[in-house]
């Protein structure tokens, strides 16, 4: 690939994978995703790093009640809201994650505070909320989530989770993922999204990945790291590795999910075994695209 193209930036964002009715019209979903993509494009064009960009895109998606993350999170069976998020930086494998955190407006920004790894890479529950408060992050009452949740009817287990992957002008990669979890989850339940290697992964040697779908299945095949290792150790190119990773998700656990990923050359791939994968992307600074399905589709059993 030429030097000029190599300096160009790539970005993908997602608003979740799943099956069943969508929470809004196609046009509305695409418009919301396009807005976030445009903001991320500006940030990367202005020299923003891949990490900064995936964090702010994911925070923006958390602030959009249309998606199951941040203010659009789904309640647990006890009526509370427990959120998960993770982020990873591909140049040095720094990672940060939070699980089952309540009262934090943007869990992804809390995960970002842990990226130094000096105190912890992952925090859960009350300790995570305390840490957010001490670090001056925006805290919100439960009504904030109740209002967001009521804004868009979700009668079914529709797509949830948000995330972003990027390649910046220096060729560095990063990934971020955030979720409100699964509808009807029991208190304390944690899925794949905050788990480094399952929900998120980024390594400049291979790719950056953000996953979505049924966490109990995704985490058992470490979907994000599996894709990266199929590239790094298996020698596959991004699209072939993504197809193989999702095929294995289905073959091993009949898993339902999707992913977005970017490689070191700035190529983007979207793949799913679910019915939907809400996503938007541009490659090498080129035109933006939105889709409600991934490019690679693997049928479940
Ligand atoms: N993966 C998320 C979880 O299991 C939910 C989703 O992506 O829909 O918590």
Query: Is pLDDT above 70 for 5?
Result: no
- The rounded distance, in Å, linking the Cα atoms of 136 and 299 is 45
Tell me if residue 58 is catalytic: no
Q: Is any ligand 1 atom within 6 A of the Cβ of residue 258?
A: no
pTM comes to 0.97
Query: Is pLDDT above 80 for 2?
Result: no
- State pLDDT tens for residues 59-116: 999 999 999 999 999 999 999 999 999 999 999 999 999 999 999 999 999 999 999 8
Q: Is any ligand 1 atom within 6 A of the Cβ of residue 276?
A: no
pLDDT value, residue 155:
58
pLDDT value, residue 21:
85
Q: Is any ligand 1 atom within 6 A of the Cβ of residue 179?
A: yes
Which member of 161, 177, 179, 270 is catalytic? 161
Among 16, 97, 182, which is best to mutate for testing ligand 1, by the most ligand atoms less than 8 A from CB?
A: 182
- State pLDDT tens for residues 170-216: 999 999 999 998 988 999 999 999 999 999 999 999 999 999 999 99
For residue 164, list its beta bridge partners: 13, 176
Q: Is any ligand 1 atom within 6 A of the Cβ of residue 213?
A: yes
Residue 251, CA distances (Å) to 239, 247, 254, 257, 301 in order:
18, 6, 6, 13, 8
Number of neighbours of residue 20 by Cβ within 10 angstroms: 14
- The rounded distance, in Å, linking the Cα atoms of 49 and 196 is 20
Angle, CA of 167, 234 and 197, to the nearest 5°: 55
CA of 92 to the centre of ligand 1 (A): 26
pLDDT value, residue 125:
98
- The rounded distance, in Å, linking the Cα atoms of 291 and 29 is 9
pLDDT value, residue 1:
46
CA of 212 to the centre of ligand 1 (A): 5
């Amino acid at each position: 690939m030429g030097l000029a193209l190599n300096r160009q930036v790539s970005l993908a964002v997602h608003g979740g994978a799943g099956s069943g009715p969508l929470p809004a019209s196609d046009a509305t979903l695409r418009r919301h995703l396009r807005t976030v993509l445009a903001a991320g494009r500006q940030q990367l064009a202005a020299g923003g790093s891949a990490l900064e960009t995936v964090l702010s895109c994911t925070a923006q998606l958390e602030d959009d009640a249309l998606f199951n993350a941040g203010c659009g999170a789904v309640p647990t069976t006890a009526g509370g809201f427990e959120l998960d998020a993770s982020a990873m930086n591909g140049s040095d494998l720094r990672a940060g994650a939070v699980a089952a955190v309540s009262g934090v407006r943007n869990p992804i920004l809390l995960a970002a505070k842990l990226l130094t790894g000096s105190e912890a890479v992952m925090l859960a529950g009350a300790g995570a909320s305390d840490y957010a408060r001490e670090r001056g992050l925006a805290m919100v009452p439960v009504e904030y989530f109740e209002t967001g949740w009521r804004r868009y009817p979700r009668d079914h287990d529709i797509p949830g989770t948000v995330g972003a992957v990027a390649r910046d002008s220096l060729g560095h990669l990063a990934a971020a993922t955030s979720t409100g979890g699964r509808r009807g989850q029991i208190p304390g339940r944690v899925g794949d999204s905050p788990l480094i290697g399952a929900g998120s992964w980024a390594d400049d040697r291979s790719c950056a990945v953000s996953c979505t779908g049924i966490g109990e299945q995704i985490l058992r095949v470490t979907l994000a790291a599996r894709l990266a290792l199929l590239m790094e150790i298996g020698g596959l190119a991004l699209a072939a590795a993504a197809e193989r990773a999702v095929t294995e998700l289905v073959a091993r656990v009949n898993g339902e999910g999707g992913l977005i990923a970017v490689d070191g050359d700035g190529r983007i791939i979207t793949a799913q075994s679910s019915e939907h994968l809400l996503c938007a992307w541009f490659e090498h600074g080129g035109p933006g695209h939105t889709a409600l399905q991934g490019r690679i589709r693997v049928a479940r059993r």
